[in-house]
Amino acid sequence: MTTAATDIKGVLGSRISDEDLAKLLAIDNPDMHTFVLDGARLCEPDEVRVFDDSDEGLADTRRTAIGKREEAKLALDGHTIHYDGPNDQGRDREVTRYLVPEDDALSKALNQIERETGLNEVRGIMKGSMKGKIMIVRFLSLGPTGSVFSIPCVECTDSWYVSHSLNLLYRCGYEQFKRNPPDTEFFAILHSAGVLNERMVSADVPNRRIYIDYTRNTVYSVNTQYAGNTVGLKKLALRLTIRKADREDWLCEHMFLAGIHGAGGRKTYFAGAFPSACGKTSTAMLPGETILGDDIAYFRAIDGECRAVNAESGIFGIIQNVKEKDDPAIWEVLNKPGEVIFSNVLTKDGKPYWLGMGVETPASGVTWVGDWYAGMKGEDGKDVPLAHKNARYTVQLKALANCDPELDNPDGVVLQGILYGGRDPRGYVPCQQSFDWDHGIVAYGASLETETTFATIGQEGVPEINLMSIQDFVAISLGKYVQNNLNFGKKLREPPLIFGVNYFLCNLRTGEFLNGVRDKHVWVKWMEKRVHGEIGARRGPTGWLPKYEDLVPLFKQVLGKDYAEPDYVAQFTIRVPENIAKMDRVAEFHRQHVPNAPAVVQEILAQQRERLVQLRDEHGDYVSPLRLPVESA
């Protein structure tokens, strides 16, 4: 035996088979071996299984998830259901913390703990957490394999549901690990669901911890099963990737990627950043367009072009309000045979049901709280809904009929437009274009304000700044992150145009939404035309606004309906008081929470505020878009 083989066999003994030992040793990376051995020593599994990229191994993962009752089969072939615990239904901000060395500092807006203190705590909780279970060792890639964008990852978990989810969400990376040099940097995730109850859900909720050691590119996750807390390549690795991108001078963004079709058969690629439940996936999945990714994108400046890839190859999507008429591509894949994991929805007679699906639903069944019936009350005395608001579906992108053919292109695609959008019921118009790159990054990205939603544990409906829709995940100075975005545009011959969108603008008097659910498709088609310089715009104080005469044919073409001028005026009226208040909140946030913020941030915010004041002095508090000058950007 080699020294490495002797060391591994000495620690694992009969807990690892000769076949799995050979798989581990086929990868020449001493740091990876150290990580796996440390996880085994710490968590004390009964057995260690190592998976390569084979179809047989992937199928075994799914079969075992069902056999261990972490998932159950549904009526349609390939469909399964998984339940998380009643208190494990979303990303848990409070117990997700950065491990920060004493000689380092992160923004006060980020949840953190001193590194050694946090390591001792989480490793103490994880000690022996895999007794009686199998430690599953998985090798995967963030970004297309064999690419400058690729980031190799290893995850050790005792959850077969998590391993099955990895099959669907990421590209297999075992063969890439074998090809990489011994000193290749990788991300490492150690996860244990901990003690499971009779429903096979994590039982020790008070000891749930998700700690990120960015000094070692390592994530620890314990006593949780919700995929957002356990599938380490998702938001947990996003935190590590942001640091890597900072070191290497590229961008990691919390964005979808989509191909939007236009005149003459052209296809234009857009990216978009939206907090959870704010329209991100539905924008990425617009009917008739192609989806390249729904969550995390990497940008690099290559030969003066902005090139982008999807870090993932699947979707862990919110299922609430997915309807056949609004989301036909998603609806199709959720209602035909094929590999899909549903989580935290109601099941009855082998069929899944979720909130807002637009069909008649059963009066009883099984859901995330166990047996359920209509009118059932929770501990708070309120009705328990048939499915959780944050219920999800997990599926490979290639299962979708509209999956973009460039998904695995190692060179990425050329990006020409970027959207920033949140839940802003009072301020910004439904869509607008920035005056330039810096204005867009600051006024739309760094000013992104949204109401909190059910996707994050805590109170809903609270307005908060969510800078670039990535604030929770930034493991560098927020000011440095904003500066990196500003600098990136300077490396490009033609930076992507930047747009702000707001699908949640409401009537100030009635509170009713002013946008239709499908109106977003019109806004995106307008942006596509702006990218190619085909139409002009009205110059508002916060950006370029669509002209009514350009939207009329788009509403007819895209949605087959007439678009009335009163609707245009209601949607695009500049609400000066609300926008000034917004600028003041954003400016104060940056003063308080963004250390070393670039000076240009306050300059751009002040300029926008001054334009709003000037407009108010000329036309009053609420200004029709028809009173704004028509110019070409």
pLDDT, tens digit (0-9, with 9 covering 90-100), for 227-278: 989 999 998 899 999 999 999 999 999 999 999 999 999 999 999 999 877 8
3-72+85-248 belongs to which homologous superfamily?
A: Phosphoenolpyruvate Carboxykinase, domain 1 (3.40.449.10)
**Which residue type sits at 24?**
L
Confidence of residue 380 (pLDDT cuts 50, 70, 90): confident
Classify 332 as helix, strand or coil.
helix
Of 292, 290, 279, 293, nearest to 322 by C-alpha is: 279
Mean pLDDT within 558-585: 97
The mean pLDDT value for 73-83 works out to: 97
Please tell me the predicted confidence (pLDDT) of residue 451: 74
In the predicted model, what is the mean pLDDT of residues 462-466?
A: 81
Residue 454's pLDDT band (cuts 50, 70, 90): very low
User: Between 454 and 190, where is the model more confident?
Assistant: 190
What percent of the chain lies above the pLDDT cut of 70? 97
Domain 316-399 part of CATH 2.60.120.260: no
Quick one: average pLDDT of 393-400?
96
Q: Per residue in 471-483, pLDDT tens?
A: 888 888 899 999 9
User: Is the model's pLDDT at 223 over the cut of 70?
Assistant: yes
How does DSSP assign 462-502, residue by residue?
A: -EEE-GGGTGGG--S-HHHHHHHHHHHHHT-SSPPEEEEE-
Q: With bands split at pLDDT 50, 70 and 90, how would you rate the model's confidence at 455?
A: very low
C-alpha to C-alpha distance for 80 and 165, rounded to whole angstroms: 11
What are the residue numbers of the active site? 278
Question: For the domain bounded by 252-313+407-627, which CATH number is listed?
Answer: 3.90.228.20
Cα 613 to Cα 605: distance, rounded to the nearest angstrom: 12
What pLDDT score does 9 carry? 83
In three-state secondary structure terms, 627 is helix
Looking at the predicted structure, is the pLDDT value of residue 589 above 90?
A: yes
d(Cα 346, Cα 277) in Å, to the nearest integer?
Answer: 20
Helix (H, G, I), strand (E, B) or coil at 309: strand
CA torsion 490→496→500→502, rounded to 10°?
Answer: -140
Buried/exposed code over 551-560 (b: 16+ C-beta within 10 A; e: otherwise) = beebbeebee
- Taking residues 111-134, report their average pLDDT: 96
Per-residue confidence (pLDDT) for residue 459, from 0 to 100? 53
309 DSSP β-pair partners: 298
Residue 557: per-residue pLDDT: 97
What does pTM read for this prediction?
Answer: 0.93
For the chain, which residues make up each domain, given as ranges?
A: 3-72+85-248, 252-313+407-627, 316-399
- State residue 3's pLDDT score: 64
What's the mean per-residue pLDDT of the chain? 94
Q: What is the pLDDT of residues 285-342, one digit of tens each?
A: 898 999 999 999 999 999 999 999 999 999 998 899 999 987 888 999 999 999 999 9
pLDDT at 5: 74
pLDDT at res. 16: 95
Q: What's the longest Cα–Cα distance across the chain?
A: 83
**Residue range 38-58: average pLDDT?**
96
448-452 average pLDDT score:
81
